[in-house]
């Protein structure tokens, strides 16, 4: 294939990270559910929304105390996913309310959905069903609405607006008229194929006849009926290639399109099973290296003039797109936003968009802000994706401005915030930082994420301004905030400036900075481990409970004891890994460890992928907040969640007690149950 020798290891880096993809079991389960549902794009099935205003009336309670109405409709598709109804107000003037929508056949309920509605609501109210409702095309079904609060609600009506089946409203008001509604159906996408080795008609109809260039496929689907899924085989695809593209055009970019899912990682034409999909085995690259002169093993800081100046400004662009856009299974490489008119998001830029990104790697990209990705006024869901060895002056891995981002199972490593962007030197005193990520006026949630080996002037892992963060089951290891000017480098792990972070079951270890090795600024930590970072580990207004803090920290349930990691990470000389060095050594690289907790009952070993027995047990086991659930922790778990990144997960280390103590605990529990204590 036209992969240019790409492998996933090459798309990463030459350094060794021993424990890169750990504690991702829960993320993988979540990914499976998303992949099986993500591409079932909706389309309108039935609609009687007129262009004129219609009239308003109220549905009053029936003798049994419920306000309800219903009418019939005839679906065109075999499954329904949602209903929208034009509602004037729920319980007008009398407070908030709850409405329920039901789909029935011959009086038999098939599915229902409930919505809480604020008083004064005026517009289309959407009800989504937990699962698609299977129906038969062309047959008559009932669509019912009832007010669970036993009060009246307002609805919009018109005469003779819907001609699919019998028209009837069951209500005391306006019998025989129609109320305004829309039903939505799950639509199966049309499949289009892209393979740079295809030898057929190149019309996208099959792997043999696949488009050679991705840009040609995108041009085809731009005006076609949606939804569409574009399947791209292994190989390297560049935005300046295609029928209407100019070779070497740095402004060329892959534009994402509403109701289009872009999926890479397929075997493609000429393989035994061209539909086999494995994003690790069949690497699909979207490359901004237009001149083929970038080294895929380069680590930042890059020599911009040597091989980046002619690269694509943005490999991918997503502007004003909605939640029907999906990007799945690609390696995005070599974007370089190096122009006064294009300075953000070398790998990808989004503005006013909503999309989902799954199984992607963003590597060796650079920009002024958001080296790999720049998001502005956007809402993104990013799952099982990696951001490594990207470069920027602000947010080397990612920068978010006024955005809402949720990341699950993502890895940020080896990203580098520079003080010498493509136009030259910048005053270090104004460096905003963010080796892994920088957030401005944004809300970001992290689940099962890893930040390791990132470097910045401030916030080696994360730098935040006027933002709020939620972090659950995350690891921050070997991140570095460093400057040649004293007292300007804060937080090897997380830097909060006029920001707040709620951090639960996270581990910070091996992070380094002249000021605050782990965390700086306002934060609330529960069930966390802060150990082995440079001193002081924490600065700012931190509220900490049920956590293990080296050197101690006041707060309920806190301890100060060696957490007994399976193996701690450390800094070594890049030329001789047997030499341990200081983090600020110019030749220092981070070798990550294994932060599972040792246990005499069982610790999950990521190398053997099995449970192993240690000769000691960590005091962090069963040391978490007793009011929090243990989640997916395996038995024996002591009934109390572990602290640290694996607490509450299927990889939590097992509880250990002697047989005598176990017997005593069973007797105490039995006595408490019988006595009601």
Q: Which residues pair with 504 in a beta bridge?
A: 472, 526
State residue 43's pLDDT score: 67
Of 41 and 419, which is predicted with more confidence?
419
Cα–Cα dist 150/244, whole Å:
61
| pLDDT beyond 80 at 11 | no
| pLDDT beyond 50 at 21 | no
State residue 622's pLDDT score: 95
Cα–Cα dist 18/99, whole Å:
53
State residue 418's pLDDT score: 82
State residue 154's pLDDT score: 53
State residue 485's pLDDT score: 55
> What confidence tier does 667 reach under pLDDT thresholds 50, 70, 90?
low
The neighbour count for residue 212, using CB atoms within 10 Å, is 21
Cα–Cα dist 524/536, whole Å:
17
Of 485 and 207, which is predicted with more confidence?
207
| pLDDT beyond 90 at 273 | yes
**Residue pLDDT, tens place only, 121-148:** 777 788 899 888 988 888 888 888 777 5
State residue 52's pLDDT score: 41
Region of 138 on the Ramachandran plot (φ > 0 left; ψ -120 to 50 alpha; else beta): left
CA atoms within 13 A of residue 652's CA, in its CB half-sphere: 32
- CB–CB of 380/351 below 8 Å? no
Of 537 and 27, which is predicted with more confidence?
537
State residue 138's pLDDT score: 84
> What confidence tier does 647 reach under pLDDT thresholds 50, 70, 90?
very high
State residue 561's pLDDT score: 96
Of 405 and 52, which is predicted with more confidence?
405
| pLDDT beyond 60 at 500 | yes
CATH 2.60.120 fits 44-186, yes or no: yes
The neighbour count for residue 668, using CB atoms within 10 Å, is 11
Across residues 40-68, what is the average pLDDT?
56
Characterize 574-608 residue by residue with b for buried, 16 or more Cβ atoms within 10 angstroms of its Cβ, and e for exposed.
Answer: beeeeeebebbeeebbbbbbbbbbbbbbbbbebee
| pLDDT beyond 70 at 174 | no
Across residues 631-637, what is the average pLDDT?
94
Locate the domains of the chain by residue range.
Answer: 44-186, 190-289+299-422, 585-675
Cα–Cα dist 412/396, whole Å:
10
**Residue pLDDT, tens place only, 315-353:** 999 999 998 999 999 999 999 887 666 789 999 999 999
At 433, list the tokens: 């930082």
| pLDDT beyond 50 at 24 | no
Query: DSSP strand E in 170-324: where?
Result: 178-179, 181-186, 190-194, 228-233, 235-237, 254-255, 260-266, 284-287, 316-319
Region of 33 on the Ramachandran plot (φ > 0 left; ψ -120 to 50 alpha; else beta): alpha
Among 93-102, 280-289, 387-396, 399-408, the range scoring the smallest mean pLDDT is 93-102
Greatest alpha-carbon pair distance for the chain in Å reads 85
Q: Which of 289, 333, 238 is nearest to 10 (CA)?
A: 333
Size of the chain in residues: 677
User: Whole-model pTM?
Assistant: 0.80
Q: Tell me the pLDDT of the chain averaged across its residues.
A: 82
State residue 83's pLDDT score: 87
3 state DSSP class of 9: helix
Across residues 300-326, what is the average pLDDT?
84
| pLDDT beyond 90 at 101 | no
3 state DSSP class of 10: helix
> What confidence tier does 189 reach under pLDDT thresholds 50, 70, 90?
confident
State residue 468's pLDDT score: 96
| pLDDT beyond 80 at 255 | yes
Across residues 189-215, what is the average pLDDT?
96
| Omega before residue 301 within 30° of 0, cis | yes
| pLDDT beyond 60 at 62 | no
Following CA atoms 574, 575, 579, 580 in sequence, which dihedral angle do they give, to the nearest 10 degrees?
Answer: -10
**Residue pLDDT, tens place only, 458-488:** 899 999 999 999 999 999 999 999 865 555 5
Among 305-309, 393-397, 465-469, 510-514, the range scoring the smallest mean pLDDT is 305-309
| pLDDT beyond 50 at 2 | no
Distance of CA 620 to the CA centre of its chain: 29
At the top level of CATH, which class does the domain 190-289+299-422 belong to? mainly beta
């Amino acid at each position: 294939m036209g992969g240019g020798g790409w492998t996933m290891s090459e798309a990463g880096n030459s350094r060794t990270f021993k424990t890169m993809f750990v504690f991702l079991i829960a993320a993988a389960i979540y990914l499976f559910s998303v992949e099986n549902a993500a591409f079932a794009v909706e389309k309108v099935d039935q609609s009687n929304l007129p262009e004129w205003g219609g009239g308003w009336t109220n549905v009053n309670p029936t003798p049994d105390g419920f306000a309800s109405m219903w009418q019939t409709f005839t679906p065109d598709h075999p499954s329904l996913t949602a209903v929208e109804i034009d509602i004037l107000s729920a319980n007008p003037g009398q407070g908030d309310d709850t409405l329920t929508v039901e789909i029935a056949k011959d009086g038999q309920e098939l599915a229902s959905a409930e919505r809480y509605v604020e008083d004064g609501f005026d517009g289309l109210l959407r009800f989504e069903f937990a699962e698609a409702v299977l129906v038969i095309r062309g047959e008559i079904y009932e669509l019912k609405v009832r007010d669970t609060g036993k009060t009246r609600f307002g609805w919009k009506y018109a005469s003779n607006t819907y001609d699919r089946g019998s028209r009837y409203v069951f209500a005391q008001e306006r019998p025989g008229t129609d109320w305004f509604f829309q039903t939505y159906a799950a639509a199966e996408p049309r499949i289009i194929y892209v393979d740079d080795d295809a030898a057929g008609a190149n019309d996208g109809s099959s792997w043999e006849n696949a488009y050679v260039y991705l840009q040609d496929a995108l041009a085809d689907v731009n005006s076609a009926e949606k939804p569409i899924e574009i399947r791209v085989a292994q190989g390297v695809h560049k935005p300046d290639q295609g029928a209407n593209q100019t070779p070497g055009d740095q402004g060329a970019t892959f534009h994402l399109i509403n109701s289009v899912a872009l999926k890479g990682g397929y075997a493609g034409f000429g393989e035994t099973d061209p539909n086999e999909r494995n994003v690790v085995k069949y690497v699909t690259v979207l490359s901004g290296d237009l001149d083929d002169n970038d080294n895929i093993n380069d680590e930042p800081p890059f020599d911009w003039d040597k091989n980046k100046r002619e690269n694509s400004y943005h490999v991918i662009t997503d502007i004003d797109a909605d939640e029907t856009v999906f990007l799945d299974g690609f390696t995005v490489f070599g974007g370089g936003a190096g122009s006064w008119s294009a300075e953000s998001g070398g790998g990808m830029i989004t503005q006013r968009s909503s999309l989902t990104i799954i199984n992607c790697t963003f590597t060796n990209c650079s920009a002024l802000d958001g080296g790999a990705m720049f998001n502005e006024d956007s809402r993104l869901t990013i799952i099982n994706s990696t951001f490594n060895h990207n470069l920027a002056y602000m947010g080397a891995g990612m920068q978010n401005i006024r955005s809402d981002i949720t990341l699950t199972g993502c890895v940020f490593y080896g990203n580098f915030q520079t003080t010498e962007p493509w136009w030259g030197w910048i005053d270090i005193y104004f460096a905003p930082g963010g080796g892994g990520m920088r957030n401005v006026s944004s809300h970001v949630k992290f689940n099962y994420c890893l930040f390791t080996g990132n470097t910045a002037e401030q916030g080696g892992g994360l730098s935040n301004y006027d933002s709020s963060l939620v972090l659950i089951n995350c690891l921050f290891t070997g991140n570095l905030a460093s400057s040649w000017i004293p007292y300007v480098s804060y937080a090897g792990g997380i830097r909060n400036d006029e920001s707040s972070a709620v951090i639960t079951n996270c581990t910070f270890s091996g992070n380094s900075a002249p000021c605050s090795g782990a965390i700086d600024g306002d934060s609330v930590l529960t069930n966390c481990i802060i150990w082995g970072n440079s001193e002081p580990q924490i600065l700012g207004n931190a509220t900490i409970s049920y956590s293990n803090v080296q050197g101690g920290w006041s707060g309920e349930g806190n301890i100060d004891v060696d957490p007994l990691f399976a193996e701690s990470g450390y800094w070594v000389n890049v030329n001789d890994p047997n030499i341990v060095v200081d983090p600020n050594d110019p030749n220092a690289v981070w070798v990550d460890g294994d932060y599972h907790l040792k246990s005499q009952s069982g610790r999950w070993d990521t190398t053997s992928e099995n449970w192993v027995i240690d000769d000691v047990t960590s005091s962090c086991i069963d040391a978490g907040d007793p009011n929090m659930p243990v989640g997916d922790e395996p038995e024996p778990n002591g009934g109390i969640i572990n602290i640290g990144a694996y607490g509450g997960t299927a990889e939590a280390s097992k509880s250990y007690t002697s047989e005598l103590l176990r017997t005593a605990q069973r007797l105490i529990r039995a006595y408490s149950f019988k006595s009601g204590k």
